[in-house]
A and B are shown apart, each in its own frame.
Chain A
Amino acid sequence: MTEPVLSLSGVRKSFGALKVTDGVSLDVAAGELHALIGPNGAGKTTLVHQISGMLRPDAGSIHFRGSDITGFSPERRSRAGLARTFQITSTIPSLSVLENVALGVQARGPSPLALLRHAASDESLNGPARAAIEAVGLAERADVLAGWLSHGEKRALEIAMALTLEPAAILLDEPLAGVGREEGERLIALLKSLKGRYAMLLVEHDMEAVFALADRVTVLVYGRVIASGDPASVRADPAVREAYLGEEG
C-alpha cells in the first residue's frame, strides 16, 4: 500500500477545559477525496487550522508527503504543497481576481519577492493565473475586484488560489456554505473535475454533496472520530445516524 499524502495521528487540542480535538487520526491518500463531517462545533475548522499550521496541536503529529510537518509554520506548509480554503472566504478584496490568483503563482515561482519587477504586467504570473481562473470558471470575471464578487464566485476564487500553489493536498473548509443552489451545483461540478488530481480533505455540511463527491467519510463529534469508512457504510452506521445524520432527518 502506498503511503498517504497527508496523515494525522493522535492529534489533540484543547481550549481551556474544552477538548476540541480529542485524539484524531486520519489520512488522505493521493487523489482521494476524504470528507470530514460533523455537527456544528464538532471541531472541524479547528482541525483544518492545525493541519494548515494556523494552530499548533497540543499533542500528536501531522505528516505530509513523508515528512513530519507538525512544527512547520503555515507559510512553510504552503510552500511544501499544502493548500487550503476558508469557511469564511478569505481573499484580497482590493485586488482583482487575476491579481489574487497571481499571488499563488508568485509564491511558487522564482524570485517571489523581487523588489523592482513590475507585477501587474508580468505574463509569467498572469499566464498561469489565467489558466487557474479558467479552470474554476471565472474567466469573465478576471479583472473584477475580488471584493465585488458574489459569494459563490469568491469560493471559486479561493479554489483557484489554492490550485496555483501546485498543491499535493487541498483542505476545503465548507466550500459550499452560504452559496445558492445554482452556484453550489457549479462548485460541486468543479470539485468533481478536480477529483483524482489532488488529495482533498473536504469539510462540508451539505450531505448531498458529500455523498456525491467523497471516496471516504470521517465523522467527527465533540472532537472525536466516531466513524470512518466508505460513504455507504458510514451512512448506515447506527452511531452516526444517532449523533449526526438523524438531525438531518
Chain B
Amino acid sequence: MSATPALPDAAPGEPQAFALPARKRRPLIAIILFLALAAVPLVVSLGLPAHWLTLVTRAMIFAIAALSLDLILGVGGLVSFGHAAFIGIGAYVTGIMITEGRTEALLILPVIFVLCGLFAAVTGAVSLRTKGVAFIMITLAFGQMAFFLAQALSAYGGDDGLTLSDRSTLLGFKPFASRTSFYYVVLAALAGCYLLISVIVASRFGRILRAARENATRVTVTGFDVSRIRLIAYVISGMIAGLSGFLLANQTEFVSPAYMSWARSGELIFMVVLGGVGSLHGAIIGALAFLFAEDALSRLTEHWKVIFGPMIVLFVLFTRGGLVGIIGRLGRRHD
C-alpha cells in the first residue's frame, strides 16, 4: 500500500529486539553456552581454581530457577516476587524425605512436582486475579507465607534449618555424590529444562502466552481464556523451580527457611533482568554472572552487599535487554 512507511530490514529502535534475525541467533548462543559449561570440569582439572566447579554447579542450579521464572516473567509478563518459595518447597521435600530415609530421587521428585504444582495452582489462581503491582505484592505475600511455614517446622530444624544426613540416590546409584558427576547431573537437568521451556515458548501455548503479555484484550477476543493460560504457565514454572530446590538441597546438604526469603526471590528476578528478559539463555547467563559477581565481591570485602546493590541498580538503569542485549548489539555490529 502506498501509505506504508519505508521499512528497512534492520531498522533501529524498539521493535528490533523482537525482529526475526535475533530469534535465529538464539540457538547459536545457547549451543556455545552449553559447550562452555560442559567443558568446565575439564578446564578445572587442568588447573583452574577448584571451587569454580562448586560455584558453576550452584550457578546452574539457580539458572534452572531463573529459567523457570523467565517463562512467566519474560514470556508471560508476570513479575512474580515469590518464586523462591518453589525452590524452598523442593529443598524441604528433599531434606525431609532424606531425613526420613527416603533418598531415591525418583520418589522425591514426583512429590516435589505435585506439591509445587499444587502450591502454584492455588496461589496462582488467587494472584492472577490481580495485575501489576498488586500481583507482585500478592506473590510476595505467598512467598513469605511459605517462609514462615518453614520457620515453624520445628521437627525439621525450624529457624536453624535442617542438615541432611545424606544425598539422594538414583535407582540405587549415587550420581549426586561426587562433585564431577553431580556437576554433569545438574548440567543435564539445566539442558533438559532449557529445551523443555524453549519448546513450550515456541509452541501454540507459548505463542498465546507471549501474545497475552503484549495485548491481553486481543488474545481474549480471539477466544482464549488468558487467566487460564497464565495459570498453566505459572504451574509449569513452579514445578521446574522445585527441581532446582531438589538440586540445591543435594549440593549444600542443608536446607533452611532462608532459601525462600523475599530477598532470594528478588535475586532471581535480577538474574533474569541481568541476562535479558524473555530470551531464556539470558536467564542462564544472568545466573552465572550473578553468582560469579557475588563470589568475587564477597572475597574482596565482607561489606560486598553494599557494593553489589548499587551495581545492580546501575546495571538495570544503563543497559537495555541485559547481557544478551549487549551480546546481540555486539553481534549486529559484525553482521
List A residues at the B interface (Cβ < 8 Å). 52, 54, 73-75, 78-79, 83-84, 86, 90-96, 99, 102-104, 106-108, 111-120, 122, 125, 137, 141, 143-145, 147-153, 161, 165, 180, 182-183, 186
Contacts and interface: CB of A to CB of B under 8 A. Distances in A.
B205 A115 contact: yes
A50 to B, nearest CB: 13
19 contacts: A78-B220, A91-B215, A92-B215, A92-B218, A103-B207, A104-B222, A106-B208, A107-B222, A107-B223, A112-B224, A113-B229, A115-B200, A116-B200, A122-B204, A150-B3, A150-B5, A161-B222, A182-B1, A186-B1
Contacts of A107: 222-224
Chain B contact residues, majority secondary structure: helix
A198 B267 CA distance: 53
Question: Which among A94, A96, A141, A151 has the greatest number of chain B C-beta atoms within 10 A?
Answer: A94
A119 B218 contact: no
Contacts of A78: 220-223
A99 B219 CA distance: 12
A150 B221 CA distance: 22
Nearest to B207: A119
Given A91-B215, A161-B218, 5 more contacts: A54-B221, A78-B221, A113-B208, A148-B11, A165-B222
A161 B223 CA distance: 11
Nearest to A108: B223
Contacts, number: 130
Given A145-B19, A152-B1, A92 B214 contact: yes
Contact of B207 (A91, A106, A182): A106
B50 interface: no
A147 B224 contact: no
Given A106-B207, A150-B3, A151-B3, A79 B223 contact: yes
Contacts of B217: 54, 86, 90
A91 B7 CA distance: 18
Contacts of A114: 203-205
Contacts of B1: 137, 150, 152-153, 182-183, 186
B19 A119 contact: no
B221 A113 contact: no
Taking residues whose C-beta sits less than 8 angstroms from the other chain, chain B's interface range is 35 or more
A93 B15 contact: yes
A83 B7 CA distance: 30
Contact of B204 (A93, A104, A119, A151): A119
B18 interface: yes
Interface of B: 1-5, 7, 11, 15, 18-20, 199-200, 202-208, 210-211, 214-215, 217-226, 229, 232
Contact of B222 (A99, A103, A147): A103
Contacts of B20: 96, 143
Contacts of B203: 114-119
A99 B203 CA distance: 12
A5 B203 CA distance: 35
B293 to A, nearest CB: 31
A94 B15 contact: yes
Contacts of B202: 118-120
Contacts of A90: 215, 217-218, 221
B175 to A, nearest CB: 27
Contacts of A122: 204
A228 B73 CA distance: 50
Given A75-B220, A92-B214, A106 B204 contact: yes
A144 B15 CA distance: 11
Contacts of B211: 92, 95, 103
Contacts of A112: 204, 208, 223-224
A79 B220 CA distance: 10
A17 to B, nearest CB: 27
B282 to A, nearest CB: 16
Contacts of A93: 15, 214-215
A144 B7 contact: yes
Contacts of B4: 141, 149-150, 153
A102 B210 CA distance: 14
Contact of A119 (B5, B206, B229): B206
